[in-house]
Structure formats: structure tokens, C-alpha cells
Amino acid sequence: MTKTAPLLLSAVAGATALLLAMTSPAAANPNAINPIPVLNGTNGLPQLPGRTKAVFQVTGMASPNNTQAYNVLGTDLGIMWDNGNGEMLTAFGDTAGLGLPNLLVGSTWAWRSNILVRSHTQDPSNGVYFDSVVRDIFGQARDLIPSPKIPFIEISRIPTAAISVGGTQIMSLMSVKSWDDVGQWTTNYSSLAVSGDNGENWVELPATRRADDGGNSNFQMNAFVKRGGFLYNFGTDSGRNHPAYVARVPEGAATDLGAYEYWDGGRWQKDVNAAQPVVGGGVSEMSVMWNDYLGQYIMLTTDPWNSVVMYTSPSPEGPWSPPSVLIDTRELPTAYAPYIFPYQTGRD
């Protein structure tokens, strides 16, 4: 089982989305995996026979972005969003590079928990090219929110969603306490961080922490979409193959947990413990976006068999369709975390 960089994949589904998929096992700990192509058994883009094709390798040593120049060899989750001014920001999760290994947690690579790159690519058909990266004083990609990386305290702080509201960048991150069984991990909490300088510097907001307990456990991993003046927050428990829930908040109150309402199956209400699933199960890392071509919301995730699937719905609270397979697990058994390209609202 291997890990390389994220791939840009184009899916045609009558109307579909662009997605990031990772050629990495579904094992929980991504830090103990060799990120170097060829040495880890990967060579070039996967040849996919179905409705989806691989377009471009986004990061790593085989990418035209040459991300090894700032010590990025392999990356985890890749959350893309528009910064409010036509520039795309991408926050990657666990990121492998050269340097001192983190032997305390079993990683043979130096790694950061969350990095950020910027791009002006809005047509991804020939790839996504980066313009700049948030760097440290040595010119390497640096953590946005540092993590102590101590087992059973916090191993990593991984972004799962981000959005721009009124010129402020808002990111949701999960504090990972431990890597558990395959596809499962335990979080301490999720929380929001904000940036007022286009993602260069970030401040976590402790008042937005949702402990992995009660109703808040259903919002440990998140996806954001804006519509009609509201920010909709889709959430699942930590790990893979869970139900998905949805909350909403006026855009201007996105950092005020007390302003959130939760869908209870029939109406919106303030009690997080009353939230009921909008997708009944099988949801892992996910992204959600409105698609103009379909006139529907689309949700991308992986199912319990590691196929990349898409759900559609006329409204955030549903009803959500049955899953439609974009990449069958037999084509790419190690895919996970499909994230939607933010400018892709047409048929592809």
C-alpha cells in the first residue's frame, strides 16, 4: 500500500465535479507511509476505465508544481476554496517532507499537520498550478496551526473544511488524539481558525471547539457551503463510515457556535443533540458544493468499500439521493477524501 501526492481527477456524471483523491491506503495513520513515487510502488497517473479520469498530479516529486522545492513530498487532505477575490486557497493536511523523523508517533518523515498554497487556476482541465505557499524562514512550507504531535495528547491538527466569509478565511480543523483501527481515529475536538491576511497567518478560536462528545461528536469532520446568506456546515464523527449531519448559521455569525441551528429531520433548531442524519451512514471525509448545471447540491465522499461516490440533493437538509459511483474501488482501491474544485459548477 502506497502514498503519493493528491491527484486531480475529472468525473463526468451528467453533471459532476472535479475532485482530489489520494493514492494512499485507508489505514488511519498517514505519517508512516513512504511519500516518494516509484519507491512506494506508484508510477504516473492511474488509468481509470470508468466515468472518471486522472488529469494531473498536484503535489509531490512527479508534479509539475515541483512542491519538493519547499519540502512537500506527499500530502493528505486537500481542501480548496475561493478566497473571495478569485484566488483559490488549498489547505493540505499531514504533509511529508525531508528532515528529522517523528519517531515518537511512528513516522519516518518530518511532517507538518496543515499547510497552505495559493493558485489562480480556474480551469483545471490541464492541471492546477500553484502561485505561492505559506513558508517558514527557511523557505519550506510551514504549519498554519502548530500541533505538538504527542500520542494521546494531539498527534495532528488536520483541516477538513474552509470557506471565505466577508474577506475572512475560516478553516475547520480536527485535533487528532490517536490513530486507531484501519480507517478510524479519535479526536479531542474540532475547532475553527481564522485568517485576515489571505491565509498567511491563522488564529485558532478556542470558543469554537466542539468536544468529541454528545451532539458535537457529529461535527468533528466538516464540509462548508454558502447559500442564501447561510453557511451550511455538514459534519460527521471522526474516522470513516458514519452518518452525516447538517447545521446552518448566518454567514456573519460563522464563528459563534451559539448562533448555529441543526436539522432535526423536520425543522431547524438550536439543540446540537437533536440533530438527525441527512445521510444515514457510510460517509467519510466529504466535500459539498452547489452545482449550477444540475441545480442540486453535490456531496463527494467514499463509501464503506472505498469507492468514491456522489450524492445529490435539492437542499442542504435533503432528501439526498442514493450514492452514485465515480471511481469504483476496484479501479483505485486506495482513494479517499474527494474534495471538489470550487470553480467547477458545470457538467464536468
Number of domains in the chain: 1
CB-based contact 241:283 (threshold 8 Å): yes
Would 144 be classed as within a structural domain?
yes
Would 52 be classed as within a structural domain?
yes
CB-based contact 133:115 (threshold 8 Å): yes
Report CA 154 to chain centroid distance, whole Å: 19
CB-based contact 33:105 (threshold 8 Å): no
| 207 pLDDT above the threshold of 50 | yes
What amino acid occupies position 117? V
What is the pLDDT, as a whole number, of residue 185? 96
319 upstream amide cis, omega within 30 of 0: yes
Q: Which set of grid coordinates corresponds to residue 129? A: 498550478
What is the pLDDT, as a whole number, of residue 102? 80
Would 274 be classed as within a structural domain?
yes
What is the pLDDT, as a whole number, of residue 3? 44
- Which residues, 6 or more positions from 227, have their beta carbon under 8 angstroms from its beta carbon? 290, 316
Triad 257, 261, 265: Cα angle to 5° = 145
At 2, is the pLDDT very low, low, confident or very high (cuts 50, 70, 90)? very low
Which CATH number fits the domain that encloses residue 99?
Answer: 2.115.10
List the domain range (segments joined by +) for residue 79. Answer: 6-340
Residues 297-314, mean pLDDT to the nearest whole number = 97
At 160, is the pLDDT very low, low, confident or very high (cuts 50, 70, 90)? very high
| 134 pLDDT above the threshold of 90 | yes
Would 205 be classed as within a structural domain?
yes
Q: pLDDT by residue (tens digit) across 37-69?
A: 878 777 889 999 989 999 999 999 989 999 999
Would 348 be classed as within a structural domain?
no
Alpha-helical segments (H) within 218-325: none
Would 180 be classed as within a structural domain?
yes
Would 1 be classed as within a structural domain?
no
CB-based contact 234:226 (threshold 8 Å): no
Largest CA distance in the chain: 53
What is the pLDDT, as a whole number, of residue 24? 43
Would 347 be classed as within a structural domain?
no
Alpha-helical segments (H) within 200-328: none
Q: Which set of grid coordinates corresponds to residue 2? A: 502506497
Residues 334-339, mean pLDDT to the nearest whole number = 92
At 100, is the pLDDT very low, low, confident or very high (cuts 50, 70, 90)? confident
